[in-house]
Copies of this chain bind each other. A is one copy, B any other.
Amino acid sequence: MALAALLALAVPAQAQTDPLPSWNDGAAKQAIIGFVTETTTPGSLQFVPPAERIATFDQDGTLWVEHPMYSQVMYILERVPALVKAKPELAKVAPYSTVLEILRGDRAAIAKLTLPDLEKLAAATLTGMPVDTFNAEVKKWLAEAKDPRWKKPYTELTYLPMQEVLNYLRDNGYKTWIVTGGGQDFVRQYSEQVYGIPREQVVGTASGTKYGYAKDGKPFLTKEAKLLLNDNNAGKPEGIHLMVGRRPVLAVGNSTGDRQMLEYTKAGDGARLSMIVLHDDATREYAYGPAQGLPATKIGAFTQALYDQATKQRWTVISMKNDWKRIFAWEP
């Protein structure tokens, strides 16, 4: 009798808790809650067994801010002074000299960096060192670096509504994965602390490592420049197959680099949810497309063709402006 009363009290209490308090009521919030409820209620036609509950999230522009520049590119640029300190002759050689200008405050100089420049800088700052050395360098940078607009560590620029979705999914037996064009080893340095996502559930652009021995005979791994996985575009579903081995049932992205992951997810049998974040909030964050007449960008472009595909294939478009009540946890 006492137990029955307790259960009777417990059930409505649970049902009344909003798992997504930072979301405004609307189609996006309803789509998420409806999907999770349908796929996890035993007996539901859309029920998904726990082992198949795989949810994949792009990172840059989906889980955290990617403007004015991807955080990892800032890491690459801000590592250059240490490279120059170790090899002073680099100070006068492009692209290192260009980066030093940018860091001295000449922001316009960033436009001088070509893609081959960035690849050269990435190879110099992300490869060639022992894995443990790289990990320590990233952790040090994360503790010190600040975003130029909000003057906060990059790891505080994650979207609160998305953190709620990650928690809500995990509370319902989903495994949450990051599937990022960014560096796999880079993101793994903070994924656990920042998103509650363990290292092994981070799929990213990955270079190989090489096994070897230190002078004292201790084995260790060195990061190599050899690209194993370019985790962008078609590389996202290919990376998901390599690392997860299943088609996701839910995927979230925000740009053309996520197209294949979103269409691949949505095309699976049974219940599937693909969502795409539209950055349409110039006041609270940034506004860019060029979909829906928003300003064009080279960083995380969301084209009108992608918007049309989202509509046609019934992906859920998340409007940052309309769907998100709060964007950051530290906002009042």
Contact = CB atoms under 8 A, between A and B. Distances in A.
Interface of A: 51, 131, 175, 184-185, 188, 192, 198-202, 206, 208-211, 218-219, 221, 228-229, 234, 237-238, 241-246, 260, 263-264, 267
A238 B192 contact: no
B244 A206 contact: no
B245 A202 contact: yes
Contact of A219 (B51, B208, B244, B264): B264
B51 A218 contact: no
B243 A211 contact: no
Given A51-B192, A211-B234, A241 B221 contact: yes
A219 B237 contact: yes
Given A51-B192, A206-B242, A237 B264 contact: no
11 contacts: A175-B200, A184-B242, A209-B238, A211-B234, A211-B264, A218-B267, A219-B237, A219-B260, A219-B267, A221-B238, A228-B242
Contacts of A131: 241
A243 B237 CA distance: 16
Number of copies: 2
B241 A209 contact: yes
A134 to B, nearest CB: 11
Given A198-B51, A234-B211, A243 B243 contact: yes
A209 B242 contact: yes
Contacts of A245: 184-185, 188, 199-200, 202
B221 A237 contact: yes
A145 to B, nearest CB: 22
A208 B235 CA distance: 10
Of A200, A246, A267, which is in contact with the most chain B CB atoms at under 10 Å from its CB? A200
Contacts of A229: 228
Nearest to A266: B219
A313 B202 CA distance: 33
A210 B239 CA distance: 10
A218 B192 CA distance: 34
A313 to B, nearest CB: 10
Contact of A200 (B192, B221, B237, B243): B243
B264 A238 contact: no
Given A211-B264, A219-B267, 13 more contacts: A51-B192, A185-B245, A200-B200, A200-B243, A200-B245, A200-B246, A208-B238, A211-B234, A211-B260, A218-B267, A219-B260, A221-B241, A243-B243
A238 B210 contact: yes
A175 B201 CA distance: 13
